[in-house]
A and B are shown apart, each in its own frame.
Chain A
Amino acid sequence: DTGVSQDPRHKITKRGQNVTFRCDPISEHNRLYWYRQTLGQGPEFLTYFQNEAQLEKSRLLSDRFSAERPKGSFSTLEIQRTEQGDSAMYLCASSSSRAVANYGYTFGSGTRLTVV
């Protein structure tokens, strides 16, 4: 198992463009989380999937943001009409619902988005 993979590692985009990030969780993990981390702050929860169902979305997730997890495997996070305030590190984490209390979460290395 290679852990949680995120792609791309870095993305620079012009304001107004759409971007899409991908996360491949640990294969046996049924839970997948997206977080956003801005400079000097802790990660903030964006959304959560259990298998293919999106079960919770933060108020931080405006209507320009959409996330999917087809077939309960990899997940994508799309930001439409990017704004400079979207510049951040986007982190993905996965866990097993049966073992999360004991084993915690595994994070990917993140995708750093810069909107210019």
Chain B
Amino acid sequence: GNSVTQMEGPVTLSEEAFLTINCTYTATGYPSLFWYVQYPGEGLQLLLKATKADDKGSNKGFEATYRKETTSFHLEKGSVQVSDSAVYFCALSLHGSSNTGKLIFGQGTTLQVKP
């Protein structure tokens, strides 16, 4: 089946530290990969995406590279800020005539950044 596995949280970092949140996937076919962020009290927001192998998605200083050989899409940021504190979700979707394009999410990783 199709699934997404994320590293467990919470992840607690000091401001300006380097962030990595691991994400691996299992998929029948060639998925698109996404990172969504959920700030406290808010809905899910698309952070970045990649639609094919070796693509790098980037936004707001965050990056993730679609690695087909390791079936991974790890999220990184070189210097986190307190405002990055949120829950981060890795997700995949499958496309094509036989797929609905629904998103399959990981369980989420809580990031806490301390001043």
The CA of A105 and the CA of B46, in the complex, are separated in Å by 8
> A1-38: contact bitstring with B at CB < 8 Å (1 yes, 0 no)?
00000000000000000000000000000010101000
- List the B side residues contacting A40 at CB < 8 Å: 107-108
Q: Do A42 and B105 touch across chains, with their CB atoms under 8 A apart?
A: yes
Name the CB-closest residue of A to B93: A100
> A34-69: contact bitstring with B at CB < 8 Å (1 yes, 0 no)?
010000111111001010000110000000000000
CB within 8 Å for A91 and B43 given contacts A42-B105, A42-B107, A100-B101: yes
- List the A side residues contacting B81 at CB < 8 Å: none
- List the B side residues contacting A100 at CB < 8 Å: 93, 95, 101
- List the A side residues contacting B42 at CB < 8 Å: 109
Name the CB-closest residue of A to B49: A104
Interface positions of B from 32 to 48, Cβ below 8 Å from A:
32, 34, 36, 42-46
The CA of A33 and the CA of B105, in the complex, are separated in Å by 14
The CA of A105 and the CA of B104, in the complex, are separated in Å by 12
The CA of A91 and the CA of B43, in the complex, are separated in Å by 8
- List the A side residues contacting B105 at CB < 8 Å: 42-44
The CA of A97 and the CA of B95, in the complex, are separated in Å by 9
CB within 8 Å for A43 and B51 given contacts A101-B32, A104-B46, A107-B44: no
Asked whether A79 is an interface residue with its Cβ less than 8 Å from the other chain, the reply is no
Q: Do B103 and A105 touch across chains, with their CB atoms under 8 A apart?
A: yes
Asked whether A113 is an interface residue with its Cβ less than 8 Å from the other chain, the reply is no
Which 9 A-B pairs have CB atoms at the shortest separation, nearest pair first? Answer: A42-B105, A109-B43, A107-B44, A45-B102, A107-B43, A100-B101, A48-B100, A104-B46, A42-B107
Chain B residues packing against A (C-beta within 8 Å): 4, 32, 34, 36, 42-46, 49, 51, 89, 91, 93, 95, 100-108
Given contacts A43-B105, A101-B101, 5 further A-B contacts (CB under 8 A): A42-B4, A42-B89, A48-B101, A104-B34, A110-B43
